Chains A and B, each alone.
Chain A
Amino acid sequence: MSRTDWEVVIGLEIHTQLNTQSKIFSGASTAFGAEPNAQACAVDIALPGVLPVLNKGAVERAIRFGLAIGATVAPKSIFARKNYFYPDLPKGYQISQYELPVVQGGQITLQVPDGKGGAYEKVVNLTRAHLEEDAGKSLHEDFHGMTGIDLNRAGTPLLEIVSEPDMRSSAEAVAYAKALHALVRWIDICDGNMQEGSFRCDANVSVRPRGQAEFGTRREIKNLNSFRFLQQAIDYEIQWQIDLIEDGGKVQQATVLFDADTGETRAMRSKEDAHDYRYFPDPDLLPLVISSEWIERVKGELPELPEALSARFQGEYGLSAYDATTLTASREVAQFYLDTVAAAGAANAKTCANWVMGELAGRLNKAELDIAASPVSAAQLAGLVQRIADNTISNAIAKKVFEALWNKEGESADAIIEAQGLKQVTDTGAIEAIIDEVLAANQKSVEEFRAGKEKAFNALVGQCMKASKGKANPAQVNELLKKKLG
């Protein structure tokens, strides 16, 4: 019997913490890392009589997001109360949006790595994005037989971004999450700090036999705070569901947690224990009305978006889709690249791309530095690229020059080339002199070459380059050597 070909269906709900100074319904600070409860005001701890007042900055960020994904920014949306009891939920309800969210629809185009070094394009549709407040934290350690409550996070503004179940593999889910992560930082609505919980993913996962129209029963994996965990959790969950079904079982709708230590998912609560949240419009808040003028103003302030910039990189600079996506992964990288091209000239855009994504990215990665803190500036890198382009230095020497720039051995590529005498030797006479010396010292190789051993030629080229300390123009060496041996 042939095994069923399973299709995976994934939808993501991503909570992004909006980077406002104060909370969504109070004036308390949102800064991370304060003493427990030092940033919880009367509204945050839900004293009797207090009332919420909506932070306009949070709304503005939601509008930015809506515009960035081509969604409808609802002219009128409603805040609702989601009722449940928990000690770190001071009011006994969370203010969220339910029936009428502020952002409706929209889509994101992403490049998904195909596992063979290439990538394919994928469009993920979004269902909605809504504003809500975060809860506080329950601290179970450090309190013997008790629970500590820290309400600093209570009331922090969140934008919950809900996708359609459009993803078909963990790779697509991760690519989507990464694209969203890049976008929210790009439009400066979220700092994207996953360790601090500024960007948290819930994944709804189900499987169905390929060709079946209905979705399988889904399970929701909660609170994945790294792309690696997202991938691991989904992969484990997919296999778990397939194994269960193939063993004759049925998936029950459930909320599950991912255990990073074991790499497994386990059920937290089933559908039967699911809360009835008793949503209803919050009578303390008026409907959120967003004027078209406001939307237009925000639109005018949006930076060029990664998708548009990526298209421009492909069209104007001839970059591949994958390279263009890589260079638009963050605004800082894109800006560095743009600055480099601006200084090096558009004709060198491809070389600039190779250096930004290759040597520079690798070196930054090794040093654990952001591109903003790069010891090599865009102007310096552009200077280097120009010397490659005009044949002043070879690629091999360029790497040396880059290293010297990194180590602050000189102000510019030119200064380093000059000071360290790295200028490529293109003078035919000088190269011929080197070749003559090499030929005289390597008679054995010359004879081998003449006997038909092609490899001997390469060895001679290598010797010439070595003798020139790498500075001889390799093409010229080749040509002149051939002539001499010919």
Chain B
Amino acid sequence: MIESSLKDIAAALRDKKVSAVELATESLSRIEAGNARINAFVTIDRDGALAAAKAADERLAAGTAGPLTGIPLAHKDVFCTEGVLTTCGSKMLSNFVSPYDAHVVSLLKAAGAVMVGKTNMDEFAMGSSNENSHFGPTRNPWNTDKVPGGSSGGSAAAVAARMVPIATGTDTGGSIRQPASLCGITGIKPTYGRVSRYGMIAYASSLDQGGAFGYSAEDCALLLSAMAGHDPRDSTSLEQGAEDFGRDLAKPLAGLRVGLPKEFFAEGMSDDVRAAVDAAIAEYRNLGATTVEVSLPNARLAIPAYYVIAPAEASSNLSRFDGVRYGHRAADYGDLNDMYCKSRAEGFGGEVKRRILVGTYVLSHGYYDAYYIKAQKLRRLIANDFAAAFQLCDVIAGPVSPTVAFGIGEKSDDPVQMYLSDIYTIAVNLAGLPGLSHPAGFGAGGLPVGLQLIGNYFGEARLLNAAHQYQQHTDWHTRAPAGV
């Protein structure tokens, strides 16, 4: 049942063909069977899941169930969960049990979704391969020698391996869209401010945004609708209340103007990815959309701008992990400074340290203007490019990642090569726009390729509509890896 669409699962629950406890049990056994191979989960919460499933069954019986009641789901381990370990993929928080639920977690709890566990991730969401986890790399269900992408790689792999039908993720520079693409599932990052960041452990506050993974756009619409909405505890949360992002799913695509940024198609994309992306765009034309060339001349500056702004914010956000109040504290230390140094040296992995160093440097006296202020100006230029492009089109289409999933260890010694794998996704975060990735075929080694759709601010319903219409006419999103 887990491999079915949410609509079908919900119908089965409603029609008493399956119970929430049975669904949770199915999900848990799939995880317990597959996790040794995939390493998608850091924590499996069997007891919590079964208790939540039982409560969901009571709601179903009482007729007070919503569309997500009884649906098993996984949370990226960046979201705080009361009473359940929240590690953020780090040794620093390997012992941290949150005393409160993130806003997203409490919304989904209230909706009756059944959390089965917490998924693996790059430490503090810094990475594009899930190799930067204290708990070991997550493996791509399509080929376990390959990475699932990152930083929400555990959530993407869990859905791709049909362990859960939906999962939450966060996207700071592509961390939902890229793993969705590499794992052959659908993922959406909404407009910045749609999903409350309260209880979502911060990496780069001005870029971080929670979002949804599922098999299809339709499933993502259901999950995102339950996650979004104004939260007074997050000052950057948008005033807009919850909305039904699935309201336009059935809309035909005739008249949809799809912008193709010439810079995305110029170079850098591997041939297999290009072939799949071109075919997908052709399919959109078949469905009645028109395509138009647009230009994002400053998009090439997105990576340098991002690798100033994100580390700057991270260097400050991660200062609270000092070993004083919670988290890892070194066993032996001399004075206070020694405690800080040893606790943080032991608690953080290499990539996190690298970004803290870079961030500290760019904010330092004498460098601030040259780096941080300059990067903020680039950010404005990049947002202006998108604004100009959206004068000509309704959505922008392009690749998500330059290649299909790469090998575990392949780029881990070359951080810049790793950073470049986010070249198509990062600009979207800098502008705060919504972006989606959906399966669009397969490339080298039979590995999935995703297509990225970028919308204007608040354009989530339009993105999901486009992807859904595409998925009504293609079956890439129904393909599951062998052995699942």
Q: Which A residues have a C-beta under 8 Å from some C-beta of B?
A: 42, 45-54, 81, 83, 85, 87, 90-93, 147, 149, 276, 278-280, 283-286
Q: How many A-B residue pairs have CB under 8 A?
A: 97
Are B234 and A51 touching (Cβ within 8 A)? yes
Are B363 and A280 touching (Cβ within 8 A)? yes
- Closest-CB distance, B377 to chain A (whole angstroms): 14
Are B320 and A91 touching (Cβ within 8 A)? yes
- Closest-CB distance, B81 to chain A (whole angstroms): 10
B86: CB under 8 A from chain A? yes
Are A90 and B325 touching (Cβ within 8 A)? yes
- Closest-CB distance, A289 to chain B (whole angstroms): 12
Within 8 A of A (CB), among B185-237: 197-202, 204-206, 232-236
- Closest-CB distance, B437 to chain A (whole angstroms): 25
A227–B100 CA distance with the chains assembled, in angstroms = 45
Contact of A83 among B199, B316, B321 (CB under 8 A): B316
Are B99 and A92 touching (Cβ within 8 A)? no
Residues of A close to B320: CB separation below 8 A: 46, 48, 90-92
A90–B324 CA distance with the chains assembled, in angstroms = 8
Residues of A close to B321: CB separation below 8 A: 48
Residues of A close to B96: CB separation below 8 A: 48
B336: CB under 8 A from chain A? yes
Residues of A close to B99: CB separation below 8 A: 42, 47
Are A93 and B316 touching (Cβ within 8 A)? yes
Are B93 and A280 touching (Cβ within 8 A)? no
Residues of B close to A149: CB separation below 8 A: 324-325
- Closest-CB distance, A189 to chain B (whole angstroms): 23
Residues of B close to A278: CB separation below 8 A: 315-316, 360, 363-365, 368
B64: CB under 8 A from chain A? no
A46–B364 CA distance with the chains assembled, in angstroms = 24
B404: CB under 8 A from chain A? no
Residues of B close to A280: CB separation below 8 A: 312, 316, 363, 368, 372
Question: Shortest 3 CB-CB distances between A and B: which pairs?
Answer: A92-B319, A278-B363, A283-B206
Contact of A91 among B80, B235, B315, B319 (CB under 8 A): B319
- Closest-CB distance, A81 to chain B (whole angstroms): 5
A to B CB contacts below 8 Å, 12 in the list: A48-B98, A49-B197, A51-B234, A53-B233, A90-B325, A92-B318, A92-B320, A93-B316, A93-B319, A149-B325, A280-B368, A286-B235
> Binding site of A, secondary structure by majority: helix, strand, loop or mixed?
loop
Are B98 and A83 touching (Cβ within 8 A)? no
Are B313 and A283 touching (Cβ within 8 A)? yes
If A83-B316, A283-B204 are given as contacts, then 13 extra A-B residue pairs at C-beta distance below 8 Å, sorted by A number, are A47-B99, A47-B326, A49-B201, A52-B235, A83-B363, A90-B324, A92-B319, A92-B320, A278-B363, A280-B312, A283-B236, A284-B205, A285-B235
Are B325 and A45 touching (Cβ within 8 A)? yes
Are B316 and A49 touching (Cβ within 8 A)? no
Residues of B close to A46: CB separation below 8 A: 320, 325
B322: CB under 8 A from chain A? yes
Q: Which residue of B lies closest to A277 (CB)?
A: B365
Residues of A close to B318: CB separation below 8 A: 92
B419: CB under 8 A from chain A? no
Q: Which residue of A lies closest to B344 (CB)?
A: A85
Q: Which residue of B lies closest to A26 (CB)?
A: B233
Contact of B198 among A51, A54, A81, A92 (CB under 8 A): A51
- Closest-CB distance, B300 to chain A (whole angstroms): 24
Are B363 and A283 touching (Cβ within 8 A)? no
Contact of B236 among A47, A50, A81, A286 (CB under 8 A): A286
A284–B234 CA distance with the chains assembled, in angstroms = 8
A214–B200 CA distance with the chains assembled, in angstroms = 51
Known: A81-B316, A83-B363. A54 touches B235 (CB 8 A): yes
- Closest-CB distance, A400 to chain B (whole angstroms): 63
A185–B181 CA distance with the chains assembled, in angstroms = 61
A48–B199 CA distance with the chains assembled, in angstroms = 7
B88: CB under 8 A from chain A? yes
Known: A42-B100, A87-B336, A285-B235. A49 touches B202 (CB 8 A): yes
Q: Which residue of A lies closest to B318 (CB)?
A: A92
Are A49 and B80 touching (Cβ within 8 A)? yes
B458: CB under 8 A from chain A? no
Contact of B205 among A47, A92, A283 (CB under 8 A): A283
